[in-house]
Amino acid sequence: MQAIIDFFQNETVIQAIGFLGMGFSLIAMQSKSYNLLTFLRISSEFTFGFQYLLAGAWTGMATNFASVGTNSVYRYRIKNGKSTLPFQIAFAFLYTALCLISWHGWVSLLIIAAKVISTIAMGIKNTRTIRILSLCSYPLWLIYNLSVGLIAAIINDCITIFCLLLAILRIDVIPAIRARRAAASGTTDVKE
C-alpha cells in the first residue's frame, strides 16, 4: 500500500497525470460535436481534479471534480432538449461556495470567475460560444496554475489558449468569411 501512495506522491507522476488531462482538453476544443467536446472536457476535468488532489491544490481539485458532475448534467439536459439555465445559475453559486470553502488565497477569486464563465459556456450547445467563453476562462486558470506550480497545467493552459484561437479561426471565422464572400459573389459553393 505504501508503494502506491509513494507512486502517486511522486512529482513526475503528478505532472504526467496533468499531461493526460491536457491531451483530453486539447482534443476537446477542436471538436465540432457537442457530445464529443463535453465527453472530452469531462475526462479532462476529472484527470486535472485528480492531479490537483495529489498536488494539494484544493480549489482546483474541488472545482474540477464538481465540473465532472455539472458538465454531465448539461450534456444530459441538452441531449434531451431541456433548459440548462436553472442549473447554470445553481452551479455558479456552487462553484463560488466551493472556491470560498477551499480558499487558497486571492487566486481562488480567479477560479470563481473562470468556473462561472465555463459553467455558462458548457450549458450552451453552441460549440462556437463554448470556445469563445473558454478563451476568457483559460487565462484565469493559467494564473492559478502558475501560483500552484503545476507544470502540465501551465503548459495545458498556454497550448489550450493557442488551440482555442486556432479552432475559432479554423471552425468559426474562416467558414464565415467564405460564406460572406460566396453570398456577395452569388455563389453557393462554400468549402468547410
Would you list the domain boundaries of the chain? 2-167
Chain centroid, CA 85 distance in Å: 19
- Give every CB contact of residue 187 below 8 A, 6+ residues apart in sequence: none
Looking at residue 123, what is its pLDDT? 85
- Indicate the angle between helix axes 151-167 and 34-55, nearest 10 degrees: 160
Which amino acid, residue 45?
E
DSSP assignment of 84-152: -HHHHHHHHHHHHHHHHHT--STHHHHHHHHHHHHHHHHTS--HHHHHHHHHHHHHHHHHHHHHHT-HH
pLDDT tens sequence for the chain (192 residues): 777 877 878 888 888 998 899 889 888 878 888 889 899 999 999 999 999 999 888 888 888 999 999 989 989 998 899 998 999 899 999 888 888 888 878 888 898 899 899 888 888 888 889 889 999 999 999 998 899 888 878 988 899 899 889 989 999 899 999 999 999 887 655 555
pLDDT at 111: 86
Residue with cell 473562470: 114
Cell 441531449, residue located:
79
DSSP assignment of 25-48: HHHHHT-S-HHHHHHHHHHHHHHH
pLDDT attached to residue 127? 86
